[in-house]
Amino acid sequence: MEPEVIPAILVKSRDELLLRISEVRGLVKEIQLDIMDGVFVPNKTIGLPELKDLPPARYEFHWMVKDPENWIAKTPGPHMHLVHVETITSIKKIQDAVKKAGGRLGLAINPETPLETLLPFVPKAERVLIMTVHPGFSGQKYITAMGEKIKRLRSLYPKLDIEVDGGVNRDTVLHAYTSGANILAAASAIFSAPDIAKAIADLKARAMGVSS
């Protein structure tokens, strides 16, 4: 599968959110919004009030929150909702919330969580995100050992959309893609670049082994 680069937005105000969206909208197929509640992870970002009336785009909500079904139900639209398996108490409640919102279900898994915890839920999801850092903060170092987890999931599900998030940059994107991830979420590598469009194109090229 051809690699797809998704900008990941981690901010604490609506003004920052709208600025980041404006910088990438039209350059990519989808935009990831990182939502943290300060409970599931030791950081807090924008919340539900800041997510109302967003500019038209395809969004992927990465819910790093406790009780994600409560957040999803209040976020209508045909969006991807990535739920951490570590937060699932009732998969049916989450499925119902996603259906009510008109969205699609994806799953996310932390580096320390065994793949076996995830596998029973995979048939219910359209996408799986494998964290390549410990969630909570941008700018962390990519955990190379997660390549084995990606490879194993790809061997079990050859056609599944597998995403990686955390430490993805010009130096690590090839490892993530060749391990089996076809969706590559990046934050610092995109938004800290002087030319955002070029940075996105460069990440995609490097994922395919083309140096620029």
Reported as a single tens digit per residue, the pLDDT across 23-75 is 999 999 999 999 999 999 988 999 999 999 999 999 999 999 999 999 999 99
70 found inside a domain = yes
* Euclidean distance between CA atoms 65 and 124, whole angstroms: 20
Amino acid present at 20: R
Choose among 179, 117, 114: nearest CA to 142. 179
186 in any annotated domain = yes
What's the CATH code of the domain at 153?
Answer: 3.20.20.70
Closest of 122, 132, 131, 196 to residue 155, by C-alpha: 122
Assigned domain for 64 exists: yes
User: Does residue 212 belong to any structural domain of this protein?
Assistant: no
Query: Residue 70 corresponds to which tokens in the numbers above?
Result: 């409560």
Length of the chain: 212
Backbone φ and ψ of 40, nearest 5°:
-70, -35
- Domain-located, residue 89: yes
Distance CA 159, CA 127 (A): 10
Q: Is 61 helix (H, G, I), strand (E, B) or coil?
A: strand
User: Measured over all CA atoms, what is the biggest interatomic distance in the chain, rounded to whole angstroms?
Assistant: 46
Q: Give the three-state DSSP class for 3.
A: coil
The chain-wide mean pLDDT, for the chain, equals: 96
pTM of the model: 0.95
Residue 137 domain flag: yes
Q: What is the pLDDT of residue 150?
A: 98
Q: What is the pLDDT of residues 90-100, one digit of tens each?
A: 999 999 999 99
Give me the DSSP letters along 74-142.
Answer: TS-SS-EEEEEGGG-S-HHHHHHHHHHHT-EEEEEE-TTS-HHHHGGGGGG-SEEEEESS-TT-SSPPP
Q: What residues are annotated to the active site?
A: 34, 165
Among the listed ranges 59-68, 136-145, 170-179, 196-205, which one has the minimum average pLDDT value? 136-145
User: What tokens appear for 126 in the block?
Assistant: 């359209």
Number of domains in the chain: 1
Q: Which domain holds residue 18?
A: 4-207
Rounded distance, CA 52 to CA 120, Å? 33
